[in-house]
Amino acid sequence: MKNPKKNDGNKKMIVPYVVMDRVIETIQALYKEGSRETELQKVADLLGCKVSNINNVTPTLTVLGLAETKNGKLTLTTDGMAFAEAHSASQEEKCKKIIKKALETSEVLTFVRSLLEAKSQLSGEEIGRALSERFNKKWKDVRSYRAYGNSCASIISYAGIGFYDRGMLSLNPTTQAVTGSIYSPEIGYNAIIGLLKVLNAFDRAKISDISKRLGKDEKTTWARLTVCTKLNLVTKEIQGVYSITDFGRKLIDPTASSTAKTNMFRDCLMSSSYGDVIKKIAASANEITIDSLGDALSYQLRREWSTQTKKLYSKKFLTWLSAAEIITKIDKSHYRVRNNNLETVQMAESNREEAKSPDCNFIFAVGRAIGTIESLSAQDKNKVFNDGLSELKLLLGDHKDLHMMLDMLQKNYELSVSSKNQSIFETNMNFVRQKIKDRLNLSVQEN
């Protein structure tokens, strides 16, 4: 396949840099302002960020045909206005149609779509590396690969092509591959604790808010949050907001003993997708160096890292192993596996294989979506119902028969509203709730 001709002035060659959450957030702010044309500084003020952050969003708005930038102003296009109006009215399909039309005119997004159709599943990093090679981009930082790759993945998924979640884009609905994927250790143990303390102060927080509190750029914060979700210390909701898990709160509880926290973090590591990697590294040798650990991580995670990157991730991973007391320091550059805790690691792995516990974050998300549907507040009932239904369908992507029940639920809801007979909806809601519990084996989760 021949490389495309360079044409920096062609909007089709723009590589999106931000995910759809940021696109929607910006469009909503412009729409609420009530003007199609807004000064960039004003947009930044509306979103509580710097103009440089808005400059990161504008190329993606351009490639999606939603807005244009000229003379320091951001102007919504006709499609941008239509998208904003449709999103405000919860017209999800209309929004998707607008984004899908833009996707079909972008050579970059069309290329990513072809990759997905060829390979069925791609990580954000894989997409970024393919884009770099295909369009001759000079990205060097692995986080840049992920930022561009994840942005494209989120747009394609939003358009209704594939399913994107936590750094993985899949052609078909899947939960296992996404949950089990390994992410590079972008954050050391002390930084994990610092992030959890910041997040604990929020109920639910957007990445922009977390970044401000941490004093980090959003790309770095996103990478760190992703690692913490893999460790089950943080959860990310469908709307793109983050919250600390019960496990995460216990790890920063000032009343817990240091021994209890060590044991908790060890359990946390071994019950996460990093458990396999730790077991193999711990069992391979009793002595570990930064170089040998970097090589092992690169091999186990199937990454092609430079020597410098290997050392960077090795040092951060060492802080995990040390905090969990899986290793102890021999001298300045050598570490030894603790034999007693190696045994604990192997037992934890054995127990994990024998009986995998339910995904608590998934169960919580399903329950919350059901609760949203059932709440039906007096104001904006249709929006509450439709938001909850859309979220529940996304969560239950693997269960198409349940989708049919949810469609039936929607019809019964509309009938109950028109007939002013709430019992029609409530009876059907009870039936659907029970079927979801039965299918997902959630009955044991009830109090």
How many CB atoms are located within 10 Å of the residue 113 CB? 21
Q: How many other CB atoms are there within 10 angstroms of residue 418's CB atom? A: 9
* 305 and 347 co-located in one domain: yes
| Residue 5 belongs to some domain of the structure | no
- Alpha carbon separation from 444 to 247, 264, 307, 322 (Å, rounded): 20, 24, 48, 36
Q: Give the type of residue at 87.
A: H
Look up the CATH number of the domain holding residue 199: 1.10.10.10
Can you list the residues of the chain whose pLDDT is less than 50? 1-12, 174-180, 352-358, 377-380, 443-447
Signed CA dihedral, 106, 226, 211, 34: sign only:
positive
pLDDT at residue 399 in the model: 63
Check whether residue 317 and residue 418 sit in a common domain: no
Residues 154 and 49 in one domain: yes
Residue 6 has a pLDDT of 41
Residues 59 and 151 in one domain: yes
Domain co-membership, 293 together with 212: no
Q: How far apart are CA 205 and CA 199, in angstroms?
A: 7
Question: Which of 290, 319, 354 corresponds to the end of one domain?
Answer: 354
Instruction: Judge whether 175 lies within some domain.
Output: no
Maximal C-alpha separation, the chain? 77
Nearest CA-CA partner of 354 in 343, 362, 346: 346
pLDDT at 389: 72
d(CA 8, CA 303): 30
Q: Write down which residue in 306, 339, 354 finishes a domain.
A: 354
Residue 178 domain-assigned? no
The per-residue b/e assignment along 115-145, b for 16 or more CB within 10 angstroms, e otherwise, is bbeeeebbbbbbbbbbbbebbeeeeeebbbb
Q: Report the candidate in 68, 74, 64, 67 with the shortest Cα–Cα distance to residue 95.
A: 64
The 8-class DSSP code of residue 147 comes to H
Beta-bridge mates of residue 37: 75
Residue 445 maps to a domain: no
| Residue 366 CB contacts under 8 Å (≥ 6 apart), including other chains | 392, 395, 396, 436, 440, 442
Q: Give counts: helices (H), strands (E), the chain.
A: 22, 11
Give the C-alpha separation, 293 to 336, whole Å. Answer: 12
Same-domain pairing of 157 and 71:
yes
Count of C-beta atoms within a 10 Å radius of residue 40: 17
Identify the pLDDT of residue 376. Answer: 56
Inside any domain, residue 179: no
Say whether both 88 and 166 belong to one domain.
yes
Phi/psi region, residue 77 (left: phi>0; alpha: psi -120 to 50; beta: rest), is beta
Question: In whole angstroms, what is the distance from residue 60 CA to residue 246 CA?
Answer: 36
Tell me if 303 is assigned to some domain: yes
Q: Are residues 126 and 267 in the same domain?
A: no
CA–CA gap between residue 362 and residue 288 (Å, rounded): 36
Query: Tell me, what CATH number does 325's domain have?
Result: 1.10.10
> 149, 214, 152, 164: which is closest to 187 by C-alpha?
214
Whether residue 156 is found in the same domain as residue 96: yes
CB 268 within 8 A of CB 323: no
Per-residue DSSP letters for 247-278? HHHHHT-TTS-HHHHHHHHHHHHHTSTTHHHH
329 and 197 within one domain: no
Same domain? For 375 and 420 the reply is yes
* Same domain membership, residue 370 and residue 348: no
Is 46 within the bounds of a domain? yes
Q: What is the C-alpha R_g of the chain?
A: 23
- Any domain includes 122: yes
Q: Which of 312, 333, 354 is the last residue of a domain?
A: 354
Task: For residue 128, give the nearest of 153, 91, 107 by alpha carbon.
Answer: 153
Which amino acid type is present at position 102?
A
The number of domains in the chain is 4
| Domain range for 98 | 11-170
Q: Would you state the pLDDT for residue 229? A: 87
